[in-house]
Amino acid sequence: MKRLLTMNELTISEMEHILAEAEQFANGAVWRPQQQTMVANLFFEPSTRTKSSFEMAERKLGLEVIPFDAGASSVLKGETLYDTARTFESIGVKALVIRHEQDHYFEQLLGKQLNIPIVNAGDGCGHHPTQSLLDLLTIKQEFNTFKGLKIAIIGDITHSRVARSNAIALTRLGAKVVFSGPPEWFDENSGLGEYEAIDQAITTSDVVMLLRIQHERHDSSVETNDYLTQYGLTKEREQMMKPHAIIMHPAPINRGVEIDSELVECSRSRIFKQMQNGVFVRMAVLKNVLEQFEGGTLHENSHQKWSITQ
Amino acid sequence: MKRLLTMNELTISEMEHILAEAEQFANGAVWRPQQQTMVANLFFEPSTRTKSSFEMAERKLGLEVIPFDAGASSVLKGETLYDTARTFESIGVKALVIRHEQDHYFEQLLGKQLNIPIVNAGDGCGHHPTQSLLDLLTIKQEFNTFKGLKIAIIGDITHSRVARSNAIALTRLGAKVVFSGPPEWFDENSGLGEYEAIDQAITTSDVVMLLRIQHERHDSSVETNDYLTQYGLTKEREQMMKPHAIIMHPAPINRGVEIDSELVECSRSRIFKQMQNGVFVRMAVLKNVLEQFEGGTLHENSHQKWSITQ
Amino acid sequence: MKRLLTMNELTISEMEHILAEAEQFANGAVWRPQQQTMVANLFFEPSTRTKSSFEMAERKLGLEVIPFDAGASSVLKGETLYDTARTFESIGVKALVIRHEQDHYFEQLLGKQLNIPIVNAGDGCGHHPTQSLLDLLTIKQEFNTFKGLKIAIIGDITHSRVARSNAIALTRLGAKVVFSGPPEWFDENSGLGEYEAIDQAITTSDVVMLLRIQHERHDSSVETNDYLTQYGLTKEREQMMKPHAIIMHPAPINRGVEIDSELVECSRSRIFKQMQNGVFVRMAVLKNVLEQFEGGTLHENSHQKWSITQ
């Protein structure tokens, strides 16, 4: 695996390989590169969870993280993303983790002279593969299989990176995915799966996967006051869930909107478990791209004609 | 010691224990956790000194610090402080150092499922216990005792975390604390100590502890031009101090306001000594909370029913 | 070498010493301080390249970097640069790398009680010595000498730290430096060198050193649309360069303004090579200031009369 841009790039066996390695990391396995290895996390959008989770994964692998602050960077001076990435490669960074508000930002990095692996930590409303992988790990730890499971993804499907990546991956792995939430937020023609009314979705699913209402991406003003009652996970709806069914949410949570605040840490909730798993899948992903990226060594002296020291 | 929120929580013997360990660190003692240990500093207010001092203390203990930028965090997306703290716990952070503009912010973190130690690095106008401890260490190094000392705390007492925490701790330890500065900034009914006119306070005290005028917290416009003459430490007043008396200031300093710029590094000044001591008391505090916090191990697999790898 | 503020401070043999050590680092040499050593990078202006390059250099030397965010620092509370620097010294930082928008900011740090080495990472429109050193290294690796070389510095000479530092250093080392670009951006009386028309400069030089148009520093609105045609490195002009001549640019690049986008990574371009070299010269500079700074040990107990522990 030379990079991780979207879930679609991964074969099912690659997914399973990453999940297995993530599980090994969860159980205390240790992997470290043989040499001092620097990476950088280029986050062009606010993030606590994903950025900290990658940082933690990197430290646990013994990597050193070169800080990057988009707000104080040369991007302000009009530098292209490609030139920023090439800069980090030039100074000796061996992998880049990038979050960027632009869909498919990574396309401008491909097929050029950039020669280090990219791990996509979220592009616009597009993909967020490590979030999908941590969701998969959490589900697999719970049910030991994806086949035959029914997963309801509820909420802001149009603007959710997670919804898309997850729906596709879960379907490929044999699960049935349905969607619920405000009908106007669901595109019938997306081809991702069917829409179900909220009560039906919640009462019949093994996994109730809530999505965050992304206020910062919404133009239309959704009445968040009514959202919990109409489409959120109330205490009443939680009572209607199947006995073994679990609750997931990518966080950050809008308490009292997508979910009743008291349910956030209830026994069905795997919300903080998902965060724990995030570190382990990111360790696995970073291990794989660093290990297998043969072009990862910089040829520092490639242009050099003379050596100053004999 | 499972956390450090306020000085009031500490017994006198706990204070003395921390000061003794801080002194050992100042003399080169080394303590490191047995395993790779990550912590995070959640600073929701600007700070150079306190944040850098904690960072330095953490590095000297061999801890790894997961960066957190409040301005680029999910707090912008409406996440609660509790959920942010639980997130850091979930990803494997073993202690949180928090500065927050809200008085007693830490109360919203207590009595729930958050299971890692909190070190308070300043809450609103409330407490700042590690600042108090470094002041105590500086005084004890100077006089070897607190009993019988007279300490004048001068300036912006109403808005000062330091004034309050220090006055209480010093009184408990046997010192006499008096206050001076603009009378309208002193609340007679605070029960913290007596008010003295500036010249009397300065000429009779063993420790002249100046407070910063916190422009950013003041509604009323104090005439800072006149402040030095009326209530500040001028060169004339410094001449009137007792022979062995010392000058302290928590910094950042408004040179020419609380203190004549030329006195900042005079032989009586312990201002930069205080900063040095800050690192050592923070090392001692972090050592104690990490060492004694038995709940500090995350039960990563607590919710897990299946293991992917055999 | 106890500090590095400007190129003028360096003797020719000191320059050559740093270049030789930088080359050794490029070839894999390792140097690390004997004890855990912390440094801080105080960047008061946005920067990706220089800050990341110093970070990388520091990590490769095994140094630990205490983070500093100017936007969240006590500078907002009116602290002087000197007090900020003294604070970092007090907490135990052993060297400071500083970038500041004020010309000659470092003069306010000299001749006082600040006792740790300063490395200037750029002051206003003044100096940027490590950029000059990396340019020198890149040129020396290419031509093995400076004597007899002709170097054309093209563009925003008035506002360029690089132009000034480089012109002086290159002239001292025996090269001939000429300037080109918009004539109104060149001061005849600077004494730095002669002005040549763009086509003449490009066709006769061994090194074509392009400068960035610093939009953020310009009051007058330069028509950047026409800049490439009039003064930039077009594909036509590149064809007219001497066979062995190389292209340099300090970056960040305004693609299509100073240089045709397609030339950025052409075979003549040493732009990303310069960035690689930046890490190695900074390693050499940091090694030298840390190694030779005898005053670098803090006397933490200098003011102390009593030891708490026996």
DSSP characters for A33-72?
-SS--EEEEEE-S--SHHHHHHHHHHHHTT-EEE---GGG
> CA separation (Å) from C69 to A226, B43, C81, C275?
41, 12, 14, 23
My answer on whether omega of the bond before A252 falls inside 30° of 0, hence cis, is: yes
Determine, for residues A309 and C20 on separate chains, whether the beta-carbon distance falls below 8 Å. Answer: yes
Considering only the beta carbons, identify the residue of C74, C298, C309 that sits closest to B48: C74
Give the C-alpha separation, C155 to C231, whole Å: 7
Residue B215, annotated as binding a ligand:
no
- Checking if the pLDDT of B296 tops 50, the result is no
Report yes or no for ipTM above 0.85: yes
Determine, for residues C90 and B275 on separate chains, whether the beta-carbon distance falls below 8 Å. Answer: yes
The pLDDT-based confidence of C139 (bands split at 50, 70, 90) is: very high
CATH topology of domain A131-274: Rossmann fold (3.40.50)
Helix axes B129-143, B271-292, angle to 10 degrees: 120
CA distance A238 to chain B (A): 18
Task: Give me the residue label for tokens 């009462």.
Answer: A203
Give the C-alpha separation, B80 to A254, whole Å: 9
Identify the closest residue of chain C to B268 by CA–CA distance. Answer: C303
Determine, for residues A48 and B87 on separate chains, whether the beta-carbon distance falls below 8 Å. Answer: yes
Among residues B190, B159, B187, B192, the alpha carbon closest in space to that of B175 is found at B192
Q: Where are the domains of chain C?
A: 7-128+278-296, 129-274
Among residues A30, A24, A35, A40, the alpha carbon closest in space to that of A61 is found at A30
Q: Which of residues C298 and C103 earns the better pLDDT score? A: C103
Tokens of A275: 């965060």
| Residue environment code for C62-72, b if the CB has 16+ CB neighbours within 10 A, otherwise e | ebbbbbbbbeb
pLDDT value at position A1? 84
pLDDT value at position A140? 97
Determine, for residues A143 and B306 on separate chains, whether the beta-carbon distance falls below 8 Å. Answer: yes
Question: pLDDT tens, B256-283?
Answer: 999 999 999 999 999 999 999 999 999 9
Binding residues of A: 49-50, 77, 99, 128, 131, 161, 212, 251-252
Question: pLDDT tens, B122-147?
Answer: 998 888 999 999 999 999 999 999 99
The pLDDT-based confidence of B78 (bands split at 50, 70, 90) is: confident
- Checking if the pLDDT of B215 tops 80, the result is no
- Checking if the pLDDT of B96 tops 60, the result is yes
H/E element, A123: strand A118-123
Residue C243, annotated as binding a ligand:
no
As to burial, measured by CB atoms within 10 angstroms (0-12 exposed, 13-18 middle, 19+ buried), residue A111 is exposed
pLDDT value at position C171? 95
Domain B129-274 has CATH 3.30.565.10: no
Binding residues of A for L-aspartate: 77, 161, 212
Choose, out of B261, B276, B283, the residue to mutate when testing the contact with C (most C CBs < 10 Å): B276
Collapsing DSSP to helix, strand or coil, B177 comes out as strand
Q: Would you call B310 an interface residue with chain A, using a CB distance cutoff of 8 Å? A: no
pLDDT value at position C222? 57
Residue B77, annotated as binding a ligand:
yes
Helix axes B129-143, B161-172, angle to 10 degrees: 50
**Homologous superfamily assigned to A7-128+277-294:** Aspartate/ornithine carbamoyltransferase (3.40.50.1370)
- Checking if the pLDDT of A220 tops 60, the result is no
Residue B152, annotated as binding a ligand:
no
Mean pLDDT in residue range A62-84 = 85
Give the C-alpha separation, C271 to C210, whole Å: 10
Q: Which of A16-20, A170-174, C60-64, C220-224 has the lowest mean pLDDT?
A: C220-224
Instruction: Output the average pLDDT for chain C.
Output: 89
Considering only the beta carbons, identify the residue of B74, B76, B308 that sits closest to A140: B308
pLDDT value at position A76? 67
Considering only the beta carbons, identify the residue of A24, A52, A272 that sits closest to B86: A272
Q: Which chains touch B (3 or more CB pairs under 8 A)?
A: A, C
Among residues A211, A215, A216, the alpha carbon closest in space to that of A224 is found at A215
- Checking if the pLDDT of C301 tops 60, the result is no
Alpha helices in chain C (DSSP H): 12-26, 49-60, 81-91, 129-143, 161-172, 198-204, 224-231, 235-239, 271-292
Choose, out of C44, C47, C52, C68, the residue to mutate when testing the contact with A (most A CBs < 10 Å): C52
DSSP characters for C70-101?
GGGSGGGGT--HHHHHHHHHHHT---EEEEES
Determine, for residues C279 and A92 on separate chains, whether the beta-carbon distance falls below 8 Å. Answer: yes
Considering only the beta carbons, identify the residue of A83, A88, A112 that sits closest to C52: A88
| All residues at 6 or more sequence positions from C68 whose CB lies less than 8 Å from its CB, including other chains | B48, B52, C40, C41, C42, C43, C88
Considering only the beta carbons, identify the residue of C91, C113, C306 that sits closest to B275: C91
Domain B7-128+275-296 has CATH 3.40.50.1370: yes
Q: Would you call C28 an interface residue with chain A, using a CB distance cutoff of 8 Å? A: no
B7-128+275-296 matches B129-274 in fold: yes
Determine, for residues C20 and A308 on separate chains, whether the beta-carbon distance falls below 8 Å. Answer: yes
Give the C-alpha separation, C279 to A241, whole Å: 57
List CB contacts (< 8 A) between C303 and chain B. Answer: 141-142, 270, 273
pLDDT value at position A192? 76
Give the C-alpha separation, B155 to B159, whole Å: 9
Among residues C108, C161, C118, C86, the alpha carbon closest in space to that of C4 is found at C118
List CB contacts (< 8 A) between B90 and chain A. Answer: 272-273, 275-276
My answer on whether omega of the bond before B33 falls inside 30° of 0, hence cis, is: no
- Checking if the pLDDT of B185 tops 90, the result is no
Q: Would you call B309 an interface residue with chain C, using a CB distance cutoff of 8 Å? A: no
CB atoms within 10 A of CB C246: 22
Identify the closest residue of chain A to C28 by CA–CA distance. Answer: A300
Q: Which of A232-246, B89-103, C205-219, C227-241 has the lowest mean pLDDT?
A: C205-219
Residue type, A207: V
pLDDT value at position A307? 52
Q: Would you call A294 an interface residue with chain B, using a CB distance cutoff of 8 Å? A: no
Q: Would you call C254 an interface residue with chain A, using a CB distance cutoff of 8 Å? A: yes
**What percent of chain C is modeled with pLDDT above 90?**
73
Identify the closest residue of chain A to B94 by CA–CA distance. Answer: A56
CA distance B92 to chain C (A): 21
Considering only the beta carbons, identify the residue of A87, A92, A300 that sits closest to C48: A87
pLDDT value at position A302? 43
Question: pLDDT tens, C225-277?
Answer: 689 999 999 999 999 999 999 999 999 999 999 999 999 999 999 999 999 99
Q: Which of residues C216 and B19 earns the better pLDDT score? A: B19
Residue B49, annotated as binding a ligand:
yes
A214 with A156: CB under 8 angstroms? yes
Residue type, A162: V
pLDDT value at position B310? 36
| All residues at 6 or more sequence positions from C141 whose CB lies less than 8 Å from its CB, including other chains | A303, A304, A305, A306, A307, A308, C23, C273, C277
List CB contacts (< 8 A) between B39 and chain C. Answer: none
pLDDT value at position A83? 95
Considering only the beta carbons, identify the residue of B52, B251, B254 that sits closest to C88: B52
Give the C-alpha separation, C281 to C278, whole Å: 5
**What percent of chain B is modeled with pLDDT above 70?**
89
Give the C-alpha separation, A41 to A85, whole Å: 11
> CA separation (Å) from A192 to A11, A52, A134, A169?
18, 30, 20, 10
CATH class of C7-128+278-296: alpha beta
Q: Which chains touch A (3 or more CB pairs under 8 A)?
A: B, C
- Checking if the pLDDT of A144 tops 60, the result is yes
| A residues 55-84 lying closer than 8 A (beta carbon) to B | 55-56, 59-60, 67, 69-71
Question: Strand order in C150-154's β-sheet?
Answer: C194-195, C176-180, C150-154, C207-210, C246-248
Q: Would you call B237 an interface residue with chain C, using a CB distance cutoff of 8 Å? A: no
pLDDT value at position B249? 97
Residue C130, by phi and psi: left (phi above 0), alpha (psi -120 to 50) or beta?
alpha
- Checking if the pLDDT of B58 tops 90, the result is yes
Q: Which of B105-109, B182-186, C143-147 has the lowest mean pLDDT?
A: B182-186
Task: Give me the residue label for tokens 């003399």.
Answer: B27
Determine, for residues C66 and B60 on separate chains, whether the beta-carbon distance falls below 8 Å. Answer: no
pLDDT value at position C296? 41
Q: Would you call A49 an interface residue with chain B, using a CB distance cutoff of 8 Å? A: yes
pLDDT value at position A298? 37
B36 with B17: CB under 8 angstroms? no
Helix axes A81-91, C271-292, angle to 10 degrees: 50
- What are A246's strand-pairing partners? A207
| C residues 129-168 lying closer than 8 A (beta carbon) to A | 137, 140-144
CA atoms within 13 A on the CB side of C19: 28
Question: pLDDT tens, C53-87?
Answer: 999 999 999 999 999 988 766 666 788 999 999 99
Question: pLDDT tens, A129-140?
Answer: 999 999 999 999
pLDDT value at position C210? 97
Q: Which of A139-153, B57-71, B179-193 has the lowest mean pLDDT?
A: B179-193
pLDDT value at position A187? 79
Alpha-carbon radius of gyration of chain B: 21
pLDDT value at position C299? 38
Question: pLDDT tens, C120-133?
Answer: 999 988 889 999 99
Identify the closest residue of chain B to A283 by CA–CA distance. Answer: B91
